[in-house]
Amino acid sequence: MKRLFINGSPRGKESNSRIILSWIAEGMASCGVTEEIETIDLARLGELDAEIKAFLAADEIVMVMPLYTDSMPALVKRFIDSLAAVSQADLNGKRIAFVVQSGFPEGIQGETLGLYFSRLSQRCGWKNMGVVVKGGIEGIQIMPPGMTAKTRKLFMEMGASIVNKGIVEPAIIQKAVKPYTLGFGMRLLFIILKPTGLTNMYWNMNLKKNNAWEKRFDAPYGKPYKR
């Protein structure tokens, strides 16, 4: 069994998607998988040919990516489009699972992309082992282990399920997507906290870190934002 992990985050090795892949690997290891699983980072743009070759050589693939503007990152789309040049015979029979993660707390945000990957699997002749949509991921790199314990356990269960069942059990997928939408209490909390600036603290920190704070209201493809 040749397994392959694909990290679809533009952040590469420093991404939340990489952390999720490490948790999935832990779950697999707990079920007796001892061989090292090759991981490719699509952020390494000059290695597309090698990445396609690794994909074709694998029997089982797990692809993890962040949700970008209600869709996939461009580098993931580039990789998928490149598979169009591969013969259908070489694609048939691949076993593949997807994870769509996002900073949004509610799972509904990633639902459309999840449905796309289910349809893509049918068109490519892959056995879709499951599509996991998980919100609330942004920030896990700076959270203490106690705050990420449940999420880590969830993805370890995913890895174990792939090894033991050959699929991601539906119960895991259903658990991951919760909360599907925000309840009244959570919406009220956001309304109360918004004036304090706490709800934007992490995003503002990253804007400043990347020298984008002064450009946060730019609208290069639309009308200027009115404050």
Q: Is the same domain home to 139 and 158? A: yes
Q: Is the same domain home to 130 and 210? A: no
Q: What would the pLDDT profile of 156-197 be if each residue is shown by its tens digit?
A: 999 999 999 999 999 999 999 999 998 888 788 888 988 888
Specify the pLDDT at position 191: 87
- Domain assignment of residue 61, yes or no: yes
Q: Is the same domain home to 94 and 17? A: yes
Q: Does residue 217 or residue 28 have the better pLDDT?
A: 28
Q: Which domain holds residue 200?
A: 184-215
Q: Is the same domain home to 117 and 20? A: yes
- Domain assignment of residue 224, yes or no: no
Q: Is the same domain home to 156 and 191? A: no
Q: Is the same domain home to 67 and 115? A: yes
Question: What average pLDDT score do residues 110-119 get?
Answer: 95
Distance CA 196, CA 50 (A): 48
Q: Which residues of 74-103 are buried (b: 16+ CB within 10 A; e: fewer)?
A: ebbeebbeeeeeeeeeebeebbbbbbbbbb
Q: Is the same domain home to 201 and 99? A: no
Bin 212: left if φ > 0, else alpha if -120 < ψ < 50, else beta. alpha
Q: Residue 226 above 60 pLDDT?
A: no
Q: Residue 52 above 70 pLDDT?
A: yes
Specify the pLDDT at position 2: 95
Q: What would the pLDDT profile of 62-114 be if each residue is shown by its tens digit?
A: 999 999 988 999 999 999 999 988 999 999 999 999 999 999 999 999 999 99
Q: Is the same domain home to 127 and 210? A: no
What's the mean per-residue pLDDT of the chain?
93
Q: Residue 227 above 60 pLDDT?
A: no
Specify the pLDDT at position 220: 76
Q: Is the same domain home to 113 and 84? A: yes
Q: Is the same domain home to 46 and 73? A: yes
Q: Residue 129 above 90 pLDDT?
A: yes
The SS3 assignment for 83 reads helix
Name every residue whose Cβ is closer than 8 Å to that of residue 74 and which is 6 or more positions away in sequence.
68
Specify the pLDDT at position 96: 98
* CATH number of the domain that residue 156 is part of: 3.40.50.360
Chain centroid to Cα 158, Å, comes to 13
Distance CA 14, CA 142 (A): 12
Specify the pLDDT at position 223: 63
Q: Is the same domain home to 196 and 131? A: no
Q: Does residue 164 or residue 216 have the better pLDDT?
A: 164
State the pTM of this model: 0.87
- Tally of domains within the chain: 2
Tokens of 206: 């990253």
- Domain assignment of residue 220, yes or no: no
Q: Is the same domain home to 136 and 49? A: yes
- Domain assignment of residue 223, yes or no: no
